[in-house]
Structures are given as C-alpha cells and as structure tokens.
C-alpha cells in the first residue's frame, strides 16, 4: 500500500523529525528497539532521571521543616521507608511490564479495552502533563530563587524572578531543539557535582552537630515536648507524610526513559531482560542514594537552622542546604554550591521534558487524538515550552504556589501505578503480591486524598489539563477521521491465493462491499443481484465480496488482517480493523498496488440519517460508508487516475 508524500524542505524535515533515524526524542519505535543504537549504560540514564529526583534536595528539607517542625527527621524516615518498601518494589514491577517506556499507563490501558481504556489514559495523561509541566516550571523557578538569593547576585536580580525563570525555560527548550544528544553527558556532570557538594555540606553539618553536644538533646527535647509517647511521634509523622510526598518524584520518569537503558546483546524487542535488569538497578540505586541524602539533610537542617529561617521569606526557605553551605563553609563554597544547585534544578526540567516527549507521541497520535506532527520532537518542544511559560506567568514563578499542583501530579501517577500493579498481580492469581500492593495502593490513595484536600488548586490545575487534552483530542479525532490510518494490510494464505487468481483475470478487479448478516448462500446471491442491477454489471463481470469486522473502534492506527471464505461459489475477503471505511480504503489501495488497474468497489446507499451516521462513524467506526471510503482514498492518493473507483447504487 503506497501513497505519495509531498516533498519537504530541509527546514521542514528538520522540524518535523518523526521520520528521522534519530529525532532526539524518547519514543521507541520497533526498529529502534531492535537496533539498540540509542542506548546508554544504566548509571548514565540514572543521572538523567536523577536531575529530577536528586534535585528535590534543593527544597525537600525546607518543606519537611515547615510541615513537621522538630519531627522533620522522623517524618523523612517515614518517607524513606515508603520509598524503599512501597514505591521501589512497585516500580520494579512496572519496569518489567513496560520496558519500552510505556510507564504505568500501559498497564492500566491493557487492563481495560475500547473507549474506557482510551478515556482513562487521557485522564491520566492530564495528570502526567500536570506533574511534568509543573516539574519544569517549579524547578526553573527554584533555580531562579537560588540565583536571586546568592549574595553576589541578590542586588542585581531581586524582583526579576519571572524573567530569570523564563530565560531558563528558553535555554532548556534550545537544548531540545538542537537534538538533546548531549543531555545525558550534561546530566552526569550536574548529578556528580551536586551529590558530591551536597555530601560535603552534610558531612560538615554532622561535624558541626558534634561540636555542639546540646544540639541533639535540644532537638529530642523539642520533639518530645509536643509528643511524649513514641507512638505519638510516629503517628504525627505519618500524618504529615502527604506534605513530604514531593520526595517521591522521579520514579515515573525512571521507567518512562527506559528506552535509553542499555541491555544485553541477547535482548529482543519482546523480551529485553537485560534492559529490565539494568532499569531495576537504576531505580534501586537512585532510591538508596536519595534515602541516605534525605535523612541526612533533614537531620542537619533541622538541628542547625533556626525554625524562623524556614518560614516564607526566610533565608532558608526552599534552600536549606544552600543556606548551610554559605553559613558553614563560606560564601565562596556557598556560591559554588549555588551554581551546582541551580544547574541541577534547571536541568530537572529536562528529565520531565524527556518524559513528555515519550508519553505524548506514544499515546495521543495512536489514538488519533493529536495531530500527526505530535509524533515529532521539535514541534512538541515548542508547544510544551509555551505551556510552561504560561504556567510560569500564571504563578509568578513562585515555588510554594506550584507545590500543590506538583504533588498532585506526582501522586496521581504513583497512585495509578500502585493500582495497576495491584490489579495485574490480582488478575494473575498472585495473592500475596496482590495483598502487599493493595496496602501500597491504600497508602497512595490516602496520600493523594489528603494532598487534594489541603491543596485543592493542584486538582483544579490537573482538571484544566485534562479538559484541554480531551477537547484537543476530540477535535483531532474529528479532523483526522478521513485520514488513512491503517499501517499495513496482512493477508492469510487463502486470501492471497484469491487475489493472485483474480489478478490473472480481466481487469479492473471488482469488489462488492457487504455487511455480513446470515452469511449463507442466499445472502450473497441476493446481494450480488442487487448490486449488478443497480450498477449495470453483467453476469460475466466477476466480483469478490469484501467485508469488514470491527475490532476496536476506539483504536486509530492499526494493522488490518484479511482472511477469506467461499460460500455458494462466491469468493469473500474478510478484513478486521477499527473502522469500516478506513479498512475498505486500505485494502483497495493495497490491491491497487498488486494489479494492473485500480480496482472498483460497489456499495448501496445508507438508509440512516446523516447526523446519526456521523456519530456511528466517530464512535463505532461505521457511518455512511461509501462517501467516507471515497474521501479517505481521495486524501490518500493525490493522483486521480491511480485511485480505486467507488460506485454507489440503489
């Protein structure tokens, strides 16, 4: 099945890069999964996801101090335990189920079918967009805050938070427009520098605590004065856990960028066991590193920084470790630490952008719910960067104002992942695993419920994203409804034999479109007589019946499979696909390439009202089939003399 493509200029080929061998994005087509030419060692990919995950150290200790006060280290320990014994096992399962970067969305997609599956994924993509876009804007805004708070730049940049943030977003977009090939190298440098410098600050903080023997006892006294019983301390820490959930970010990104993880030479597209093993190493190593740093940072910041400094407007608000770097190690080291923090916070948006560049082309164009150019990296970069700029202006580049939306997006993804893993294990009959992940799911359901209750603006923003995605998706589905959306046509042996036989006979080859009812000899005989009478065909002009069975009308692009049957001397081709007009057009165009003249197909007029036919076409893949088939063929084949001919009688 071939159609002509319009010649593109070099600029258009560069911009609409979906057909390039290396477009720079993370969507993994089958050919790339087999070639394994775009992969990196797992520890380097960990640095790419780590710019998001590890960068939360820039603001997590301050958030914990504000939410839990003296209980911050204990509350952080709760976060670490849930990370290691809840989120990590969950995402190790997700990695095994979606090794090509589908993420947890694909697991839920497989658990449902038809339109419910598509609608669920669209809603979850709204939360993905919320979490990832806010990651980009919040990280850039936090990087700007660190720039402005630096003593050497404060007088120059004060009051210019929005402008600085927008500049950082433009620089991030520029890297992706260039192709993003160097991004992993940049991420490795930033992560190694940031973790190394953070470790220096933590060690210096521990030494400082040792130099003040009363610091630890004062902290214990402050903690026990409000909660004398150990269970009271634990209970209070559990209650503030939802406020600390930002420290769980990075897991979904880790599985989304799995196409970049290098596997074994023996890996196949169907069973990439080496990639799965290395992705699990990535997730485990990142979680262990982050757990140590979270506990250490929470302890030293709580014991060494005055509580007032954590408050909004305070010097440690959103930058607790940077505050200690300046206070304990001097302005010179503090400035170096600021530079590393600014770099990793800014580049945290790169990890989120990479995730969006995988998720959007993987789902929306396949559903017909985005323009075809959405498969290309560079147009998406511009669209996503524009959205990020709008969000930045709407929030005034304020980190605290965006925290609720960020937490809602992250927790929605993690909750859906937990439920997906639970349902998958339950369906497979793994009762012990299902029970464990039911508990994990309950924890995340509780967490997101409390988060939404306390910060409802996060849900509002997510609903706005969902509404925009649904509106754009419906519009795109309507606009693309007459687009040829069949990827290829596959015949079984008997169907191919019928076509080969017919190709040796008189041309053009003629087909009679039929909607199967009884499927007996009388049905085909009556249909043949009606079509011949209405279209003035004589008995010597042979014809093959062509029927379509709807597989899943909610699918957009798919492969059509064609079988055959012989009933009462009538030859029948039976195709399966998501839309009757599209399948008929695809088979006719494919047959056109196999015979000497374009084939003809014969229909009867529909007896249903036009409005009803439109809805039947969009929702059920049927509708007023003759004109739709003709329109799809017309759009797919620009040369009129090469188009299969459509006849309608009756």
Residue pLDDT, tens place only, 520-540 = 888 888 888 888 888 878 777
Q: Three-state SS for 602?
A: strand
- Give the whole-angstrom CA distance, residue 26 versus residue 30: 12
pLDDT at 76: 84
CA distance 645 to 558: 24
Handedness of CA 245, 248, 249, 255 (dihedral sign): negative
Q: Report yes or no: 570 and 524 within 8 Å, Cβ to Cβ.
A: yes
**Contact in structure between 291 and 128 (CB atoms under 8 Å):** no
> Can you say how many angstroms the Cα of residue 90 is from the centroid of all Cα atoms in its chain?
18
DSSP at 271: -
Q: What are phi and psi of 623, to 5 degrees?
A: 85, -160
- Long-range contacts from 441-450, C-beta under 8 angstroms, 24+ separation: 441/415, 443/82, 443/86, 443/418, 444/86, 444/411, 444/414, 444/415, 444/418, 445/415, 446/242, 447/241, 447/242, 447/245, 447/411, 447/415, 448/242, 448/408, 448/411, 448/412, 448/415, 450/242
Q: How is residue 576 written in tokens? A: 């399966």
Q: How many CB atoms lie within 10 A of CB 116?
A: 11
Q: What is the pLDDT of residues 537-572, one digit of tens each?
A: 877 778 889 998 887 766 666 788 999 999 888 899
Measured distance CA(503)–CA(283) in Å, rounded: 57
Spatial separation of the C-alpha atoms in residues 598 and 100, rounded to whole Å: 40
Are 303 and 216 in contact, with CB atoms under 8 Å apart? yes
pLDDT value at residue 226: 60
Burial of 160 (0-12, 13-18, 19+ CB in 10 A): middle
Residue listed under structure tokens 């991004």: 183
Structure tokens at 384: 């996503």
Residue 142's contacts (CB-CB under 8 Å, 6 or more residues apart) are 58, 59, 318, 345, 399
Q: Which residue in the block uniquely carries the two structure tokens 């190790």? A: 92
**How far apart are alpha carbons 607 and 624 in whole angstroms?**
9
Strands 570-577 and 558-567: antiparallel
pLDDT for the residue 21: 44
3-state helix, strand, coil in the chain (%, to 5): 70, 5, 25
Q: Which residues of the chain have pLDDT under 70?
A: 1-38, 112-115, 179-182, 225-249, 365-372, 374-375, 553-557, 606-623, 650
Cα-Cα-Cα-Cα dihedral sign, residues 394, 396, 400, 406: positive
Residue 34's pLDDT is 45
Q: Which residues pair with 490 in a beta bridge?
A: 561
Q: What pLDDT sits at residue 343?
A: 87
Quote the pLDDT of residue 33: 43
pLDDT of 408 reads 82
8 A C-beta contact, residue 407 and residue 458: yes
pLDDT at 182: 65
C-alpha 242, offset from chain centre: 24
Calpha distance 530→139 (Å, rounded): 68
Q: What are phi and psi of 579, to 5 degrees?
A: -150, 125
492: number of Cβ within 10 Å: 12
Do 578 and 551 touch, CB atoms closer than 8 A? yes
Nearest to 241 by CA among 79, 400, 66: 79
Angle between helix axes 580-592 and 625-636 (nearest 10 degrees) is 50
CA 389 distance to own-chain centroid: 20
Give the per-residue SS3 of 91-157: HHHHHHHCCCCCCHHHHHHHHCCHHHHHHHHHHHHHHHHHHHHHHHHHHHHHHHHHHHHCCCCHHHH
How is residue 149 written in tokens? Answer: 């708070």
Q: What is the pLDDT of residues 29-83, one digit of tens each?
A: 444 444 455 678 899 888 888 887 888 887 778 777 777 777 788 888 888 888 8
Reduced 3-state DSSP string for 523-569: HHHHHHHHHHHHHCCCCCCCCEEEEEEECCCCCCCEEEEEEEEEECC
């Amino acid at each position: 099945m071939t159609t002509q493509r319009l010649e593109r200029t070099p600029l258009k080929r560069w911009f609409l890069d979906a057909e390039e061998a290396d477009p720079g994005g993370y969507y993994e087509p089958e050919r790339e999964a087999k070639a394994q030419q775009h992969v990196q060692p797992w520890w380097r990919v960990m640095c790419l996801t780590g710019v998001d995950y590890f960068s939360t150290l820039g603001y997590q200790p301050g958030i914990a101090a504000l939410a839990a006060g003296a209980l911050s280290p204990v509350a952080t320990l709760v976060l670490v335990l849930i990370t290691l014994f809840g989120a990590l096992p969950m995402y190790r399962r997700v990695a095994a189920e979606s090794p090509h970067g589908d993420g947890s969305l694909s697991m839920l997609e497989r658990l449902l079918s038809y339109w419910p599956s598509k609608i669920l994924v669209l809603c979850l993509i709204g939360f993905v967009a919320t979490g990832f876009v806010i990651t980009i804007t919040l990280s850039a805004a936090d990087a700007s805050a660190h720039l402005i708070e630096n003593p050497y730049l404060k007088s120059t940049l004060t009051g210019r938070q929005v402008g600085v943030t927008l500049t950082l977003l433009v620089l991030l977009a520029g890297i992706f427009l260039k192709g993003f090939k160097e991004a992993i190298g940049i991420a490795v440098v930033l992560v190694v520098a940031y973790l190394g410098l953070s470790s220096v600050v933590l060690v210096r903080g521990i030494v400082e605590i040792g130099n003040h023997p009363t610091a630890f006892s004062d902290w214990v006294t402050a903690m026990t004065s409000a909660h004398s019983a150990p269970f009271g301390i634990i209970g209070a820490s559990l209650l503030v856990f939802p406020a600390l959930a930002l420290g769980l970010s990075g897991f979904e990104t880790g599985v989304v960028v799995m196409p970049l993880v290098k596997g074994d030479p023996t890996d196949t597209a169907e069973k990439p066991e080496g990639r799965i093993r290395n992705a699990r190493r990535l997730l485990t190593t990142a979680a262990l590193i982050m757990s140590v740093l979270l506990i250490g940072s929470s302890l030293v910041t709580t014991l060494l920084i005055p509580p007032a400094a954590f408050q909004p407007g305070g010097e440690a608000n959103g930058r607790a470790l940077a505050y200690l770097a300046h206070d304990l190690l001097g302005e010179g080291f503090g400035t170096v630490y600021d530079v590393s923090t600014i770099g990793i916070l800014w580049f945290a948006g790169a990890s989120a952008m990479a995730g969006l560049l995988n998720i959007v082309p993987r789902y929306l164009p396949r559903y017909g719910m985005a323009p075809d150019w959405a498969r290309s990296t560079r147009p998406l970069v511009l669209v996503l960067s524009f959205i990020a700029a709008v969000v930045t202006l709407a929030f005034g580049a304020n980190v605290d104002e965006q925290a609720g939306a960020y937490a809602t997006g992250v927790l929605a993804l993690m909750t859906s992942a937990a439920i997906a893993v639970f349902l998958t294990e339950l369906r497979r009959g793994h009762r012990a695993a299902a029970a464990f992940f039911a508990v994990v799911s309950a924890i995340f359901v509780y967490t997101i419920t409390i988060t939404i209750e306390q910060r409802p603006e996060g849900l509002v923003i997510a609903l706005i994203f969902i509404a925009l995605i649904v509106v754009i998706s419906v519009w795109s589905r309507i606009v693309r409804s007459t687009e040829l959306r069949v990827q290829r046509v596959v015949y079984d042996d008997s169907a191919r034999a019928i076509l080969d036989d017919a190709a040796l006979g008189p041309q053009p080859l003629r087909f009679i479109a039929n909607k199967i009812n009884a499927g007996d000899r009388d049905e085909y005989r009556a249909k043949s007589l009606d079509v011949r009478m209405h279209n003035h065909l004589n008995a010597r002009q042979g014809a093959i019946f062509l029927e379509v069975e709807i597989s899943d009308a909610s699918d957009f692009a798919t492969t059509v499979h064609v079988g055959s049957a012989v009933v009462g001397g009538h030859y029948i081709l039976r195709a399966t696909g998501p839309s009757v007009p599209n399948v008929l057009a695809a088979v006719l165009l494919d047959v056109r390439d196999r015979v000497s003249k374009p084939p003809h197909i014969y229909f009867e007029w529909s007896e249903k009202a036009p409005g009803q036919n439109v809805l039947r076409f969009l929702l059920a893949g049927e509708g007023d089939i003759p004109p739709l088939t003709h329109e799809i063929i017309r759009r797919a084949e620009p040369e009129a003399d090469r188009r299969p001919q459509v006849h309608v009688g009756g």
